[in-house]
Structure 1
Amino acid sequence: MKSIKNNLSKEIILEITLALIDENEGSKNVTLRDIAKKLGCAHTNLYNYFKSLEEIFWEALGQALLKMMCYSESNLTVKIDCEKGLYEFFDNLIDFSMDHPGWYKLIWFDTIGGNPPDEVIKMLNKPGKELIEIIIKVSNDKLSEEKASLIANILHGYLHGELCKWINNRSFMNNRQETKTKLLSNIKYMYKLMV
């Protein structure tokens, strides 16, 4: 890779960090030196943009969340305001998670020291709020925010548990499509039981 140290920016550092996390299937083995090597600069140059590796990871987590949300919402073939749209949203979320297990681990598993910046805290709350809004829309505004929140938490908790098993090779099903079909079927079943 050609050195990009002359064009270095926070965005480029985060892009390279996310690529390394994706390649390594998590942030565990990604260091400042790894990031700097990919960028073609000394690791000390990164301190001109970030205070620490932890700060880079927090910001990368925020970017991974945005990518997940964008992917889940932008690949819909129907409007999100119907039940089919909700299932397609989950379908996309499963695809994204299976395609990027390293980002999934960064978002949900990997320990990051320090405190997240305020912008990242806002991003951490955004997916849950959006899922609640989607569930309310799908119900034609018949569900209260409290009930929609309960449904969102249960569906997400189930999905997260199953994805954790699949990503960490703890699932009894190793076939991606079979796993995805089972997850979507169970999500549909649970959703119908709760509304």
Structure 2
Amino acid sequence: MSPRKPSTKDLTKEMIINEAHKQFITKDFHQVSMRSIAKELGCSHGAIYYHFKNKAEIFYAILGDYFSELNNILDENMNGPEDHSTKLMNVFVGYMAFGLNHQSQYELMFIMRDSEIDGLSQEAANLSYEKFAQSVQSLSNTELSISDIHSSFIALHGFVAHYRHYVKNYEEAKEAVDVHAKFLIKALTYRE
């Protein structure tokens, strides 16, 4: 006897997002379809359209959760009891740790490009970057230029992009993460 298919009423957004998330991690964006998600959930693809108007909307819901998690890491580090220098170190380490601990998600957030979803994902990425930039500026002992902050972000991104797939998680690169974060802080505090 085969398991009962969830009806439109039984099917939840969370179920759809969880299944879509699994597929987006293992397949290219274009290989995932409403039908493939429905097939794995054992429901009709029409039942999924009841909750989401298209695949891009599902993808954006998934990305929103990732960006929220990254933004929470920034908030936690900004609100800690440490001095500004330690908080800045924690912001840099937290960013790299997130990227290395969530490599598939990081790729979806910052590396994967597709015209169907770029507008949506870029909006979330820009808001997250704004939060990052404000955090770095507020923790700096000197007034930083926009290019200084952007360069530090690109350096963090480059670090994560370089180490992804070479390490399983942050713990395997902890020493290199700390060295890189210290280097960035030194570069931001050095003034001609």
Deviations 1:123-157 (A, max 9, x none): 222111111211222125x415xx1x323211221
Q: Distance in 2 between matches of 1:49 and 1:57?
A: 13
Name which of 63, 66, 91 aligns with 1:64: 66
Q: How does 1:166-177 map to 2 (within 5 A)?
A: 166-169=163-166, 177=171
- Aligned partners of 1:16 and 1:38 also within 8 Å: yes
Deviation at 1:71, TM superposition (A): 3.8
Deviations 1:101-128 (A, max 9, x none): 111111122233425676x554222111
Q: Is residue 2:186 matched to residue 1:181?
A: no
- Aligned partners of 2:34 and 2:45 also within 8 Å: yes
AA matched with 2:68 = L
Deviation at 1:91, TM superposition (A): 2.0
2:84 matched residue in structure 1: 82
Q: Identity of aligned pairs, percent? A: 22
Q: Distance in 2 between matches of 1:35 and 1:114?
A: 18
Q: How does 1:110-149 map to 2 (within 5 A)?
A: 110-114=112-116, 122-139=123-140, 142-143=142-143, 147=145, 149=146
2:16 matched residue in structure 1: 13
Q: Distance in 1 between matches of 2:130 and 2:149?
A: 9
Deviation at 1:175, TM superposition (A): 8.3
Deviations 1:150-174 (A, max 9, x none): 23211221121121122244xxx78
Q: Distance in 1 between matches of 2:64 and 2:163?
A: 23
- Aligned partners of 2:16 and 2:37 also within 8 Å: yes
Deviation at 1:178, TM superposition (A): 5.2
* Structure 1 gap segments, 5+ residues each: none
The number of equivalent residue pairs is 186
Instruction: Return the index of the structure with the highest Cα Rg.
Output: 2
2:156 matched residue in structure 1: 159
* Structure 2 gap segments, 5+ residues each: none
Q: Compared with structure 1, are the counterparts of its residues 74 and 7 closer, same or farther at alpha carbon in structure 2 (3 Å cutoff)?
A: farther
Q: Compared with structure 1, are the counterparts of its residues 34 and 189 closer, same or farther at alpha carbon in structure 2 (3 Å cutoff)?
A: same
- Aligned partners of 1:80 and 1:134 also within 8 Å: no
Q: Distance in 1 between matches of 2:69 and 2:94?
A: 12
Q: Distance in 1 between matches of 2:4 and 2:161?
A: 36
AA matched with 2:132 = L
